[in-house]
Amino acid sequence: MLLVIWTATLLVAVLVAANSKVKYFDPKNVLHQSALSLSFDNSFVDALSKLNLDFAGSVIHFQQGDCFCQAIAQSHINSVEKLAENKQFKNIIINVDEHKSLIRFIPSVPAVAVIDKASKLRYFGPYSSGMFCNQGDGLVEPFIKNWQTAATGATIISQSQGCYCNLSEL
């Protein structure tokens, strides 16, 4: 009986904590407004190139050290990393605490970008939506699986709700 009460209490605590983290990925619409510019894709890739890393054919994982939602989404992040490897993409992890110049592009973490083998931005936004940001709600996977499909520009997801740590609040 004590085990049942303990389990129920723990479950309620996790649900309350996770529910308190459900936020808009781009709460101030800064990314949304920026992405309307025809030069956004190139500006984003140019900002990444200043880090002196080879981003062609990469899935870039943006994180921040104190983000609770990073832990919630970790199993999904791991599955995205495996998918990227299977599709011959490099996985690059960027801690935004160490690269503050990127925060103007990244409203919240965890976030992910897909850069194709021609160094073109294909996707930028959250891994998924929903309270637990889990694999069933994945937004990024189609852009890794179908990276060879012709695209006129990147898909930028800014209007999603889920477990995100808004960088403007840190």
Is residue 8 one of the residues assigned to a domain? no
Average pLDDT, the chain: 88
Please provide the DSSP assignment of 99-112 as one string.
-GGGGGT--EESEE
Global pTM value: 0.85
Is residue 65 one of the residues assigned to a domain? yes
Residue 8 — pLDDT band, cuts 50, 70, 90?
confident
For 82, the domain range is 22-169
Is residue 74 one of the residues assigned to a domain? yes
d(CA 4, CA 142): 40
Is residue 93 one of the residues assigned to a domain? yes
Is residue 3 one of the residues assigned to a domain? no
Query: Rounded mean pLDDT of 58-82?
Result: 94
Share of the chain above pLDDT 90, in %: 67
For the CA atoms of 99, 105, 109, 110, what is the dihedral angle to 10 degrees? -90
The number of distinct structural domains making up the chain is 1
* Both tokens assigned to 155: 């898909």
Is residue 4 one of the residues assigned to a domain? no
Give the CA distances from residue 161 to residues 4, 9, 107, in Å, rounded to whole numbers and listed in that order.
32, 26, 13
Indicate which CATH number applies to the domain containing 33. Answer: 3.40.30.10
CB 43 within 8 A of CB 50: no
Is residue 14 one of the residues assigned to a domain? no
Is residue 11 one of the residues assigned to a domain? no
d(CA 126, CA 139): 7
